[in-house]
Structure 1
Amino acid sequence: MRAVELLQNRRKDFETLVIAQDSVSYGQRLPKDDGWGKRALKALDLDQTRLHLHGLKPRDEYLKVLQASTAHVYFTEPFVTSWSLLEAMAAGCLVIGSNTAPVREKVDDMATGILVDMDDRDEVAEMIEWVFNNPLEAAEIRAQAREFVLEHFDARKVFAKKAEYLRALVALD
């Protein structure tokens, strides 16, 4: 959100859509009626007419948002990645992700996405703006990301490999 604040000041055409629950999934829970989103709104000078906060959406609506988005900002501490990272890549949405081990497992910087230091608001803002300013290069990254997901995580391939593996395990008895 600190990067959003910078970009709102730089670009009058910058709109941000946040689809999330303001809750903690990992780590210590925040007090009741508190959340990271609420804290950001209090601490930052954000133009809330250009900041659109929504709760979770049904999958079909979420996919439409991904497909229409310029970028999907995906940050995680060193935990496993969630399904939404691959979902965004498969939908052809350019991922700007945290330069952390689990994200690096899926995102090759400037090939299948963009890696940034999630604590460096200037770098995050710079790379979001790069996507706006370099549509042809961004389109190539989107295409490579989608191809990567289809090659490595397509359900038809993954489930076929799982079934083959399970048949081999059963045959060992």
Structure 2
Amino acid sequence: MKILFIHQNFPGQFKHLAPELVARGHDVRSITLRAKGRGKWQGVELYPYQIKRKPAQGLHPWMVDFETKVLRAEACYAAARRLRDQEDYTPDVIVAHPGWGESMFLRDLWPTARIGLYCELYYALHDTDTHFDPEFPRKNADTDSIRLRLKNLNNMMHHQSADLGISPTQFQANTFPPEYKEMISVIHDGIDTDVVRANPDASLTLEDGSVLTQDDEVITFVNRNLEPYRGYHIFMRALPELLKQRPNARVLIVGGDEVSYGAAPPKGQTWKQIYIDEVRGKIPTPDWERVQFLGKVPYDQFLAMLQISRAHVYLTYPFVLSWSLMEAMAIGAPIIASDTAPVTEVIAHGETGRLFPFFEGNRMIEEICTVLDDPDMRADMAKASRAYAVENYDLQSCCLPKQLEWIQKLHDMPPGALRS
């Protein structure tokens, strides 16, 4: 089987699937912006594409997002055409993350290929991140429905050429219209629960040389980047009271200073520092010294941190669910999380974690203290969350076999040209 992956930051969500297909003897290739030249990654042939055109000046602001995606699609199409013409290559299956527009025109180049899309999110006015947080009202909110309709142009263009879709969670699949959902299989990317598991001997050495273990009262909070979409502002505003109530707690915060989702902070500032500045005056220096910002950490340190955590706090808008939550579940870290739709798909209150309303920091503190004061509860939640993660999100026994079945189903469909 000839399989072509399209992802600007390959391997991205395909980091397990692509090498497994190579191991099974398939011809696996990828066109990606990440590669600077021809190369190979775990047996996958890499073909670079480069964006050579800049966005137009003076374009209508509603069209800027779509033009950016068209520019990527044009560049990816050019690289794909070179691959076709120079190597006489025609894939049986194309698997693409369409979020950046890259794969928009590949049906025109390879009409007989079967195309599967990673369906991450369909933008909607209600029940998702839009208008969720009143602290950050959108400019020109009265035209949000128009803006989102145009933002979904990329999804609509891809749907015209797609044969199947795959979404990691039911919440994400449910954001798509009914005619899309019919073609989407809900299959998570997968967690290697043989690696991501509890370790009673785990320890974490901080920059000051201090070593934390499970004997310490460790509270953890993780974002890819520290920002409101993942509740960083809610957590930081709770810190003064949390530190007061837990005089022995050590708070470890992981995340970068950039923006993954949502609006950028005011020019010259970071969300991280904005909320540090907001709460710092309310926290005595001895208490503040118990808070460590670790930045972006290597994966082994990230796992060690979760393995020593007595209370792992996770918040999110109604949006894409973080891998880190499933990893915390697989480790058995006691989880205190926001009662938002993506979270409630995997966390049952009182069983696999504790839930609180996203905007109620005091309730979050109550739940954290409840967990910290009850070792039997922590043990029960650890056992339940680990079992749930293994049953539903384990890479080898659950997710990867389903992904391979999805690939085979895609391959066995009639070629696109015969359906058009």
TM-score where L is the length of structure 1: 0.93
Identity fraction in percent = 35
Matched residues in 2 for 1:132 and 1:67: separation?
15
Q: Determine if contact 1:71/1:94 at 8 Å carries over to the other structure.
A: yes
| 1:30 matched residue in structure 2 | 265
Matched residues in 2 for 1:76 and 1:68: separation?
23
Find the residue that maps to 1:102 and give its secondary structure: helix
Q: Determine if contact 1:70/1:93 at 8 Å carries over to the other structure.
A: yes
Alpha-carbon deviations, 1:30-86, whole Å to 9, x = none? 134422221222221233211111101111110000000111111110101011110
| 1:14 matched residue in structure 2 | 249
Find the residue that maps to 1:90 and give its secondary structure: helix
| 1:167 matched residue in structure 2 | 408
Q: Determine if contact 1:81/1:103 at 8 Å carries over to the other structure.
A: yes
Rg: which structure is higher? 2
Aligned residues: 173
What is the CA distance between 1:168 and its match in structure 2?
3.2
Aligned equivalent of 1:154, options 355, 376, 394: 394
| 1:103 matched residue in structure 2 | 343
Matched residues in 2 for 1:168 and 1:41: separation?
50
Aligned equivalent of 2:322, options 76, 82, 96: 82
Moved over 3 A (4+): none
What is the CA distance between 1:166 and its match in structure 2?
2.4
Q: Determine if contact 1:70/1:94 at 8 Å carries over to the other structure.
A: yes
TM-score where L is the length of structure 2: 0.40
Matched residues in 2 for 1:92 and 1:34: separation?
36
Amino acid at match of 2:308: A
What is the CA distance between 1:94 and its match in structure 2?
1.4
What is the CA distance between 1:167 and its match in structure 2?
2.1
| Superposed CA RMSD | 1.4
Higher RCO by CA contacts (8 Å cutoff, separation 6 or greater): 1
State which drifts further: 72-81 or 159-168.
Answer: 159-168
**Structure with greater strand share of residues:** 2
Q: Determine if contact 1:4/1:16 at 8 Å carries over to the other structure.
A: no
| 2:238 matched residue in structure 1 | 3
Aligned equivalent of 1:48, options 288, 293, 300: 288
What is the CA distance between 1:164 and its match in structure 2?
2.1
Find the residue that maps to 1:20 and give its secondary structure: strand
Matched residues in 2 for 1:13 and 1:33: separation?
35
Find the residue that maps to 2:253 and give its secondary structure: strand
- With over 3 angstroms needed to count, the CA separation of the structure-2 counterparts of 1:172 and 1:24, relative to structure 1, is closer
Q: Determine if contact 1:89/1:145 at 8 Å carries over to the other structure.
A: yes
**Structure with greater helix share of residues:** 1
Alpha-carbon deviations, 1:140-173, whole Å to 9, x = none? 1111111111101111121112212322333344
Structure 2 gaps, min length 5: 1-235, 415-420
Q: Determine if contact 1:94/1:138 at 8 Å carries over to the other structure.
A: yes
Amino acid at match of 2:315: F
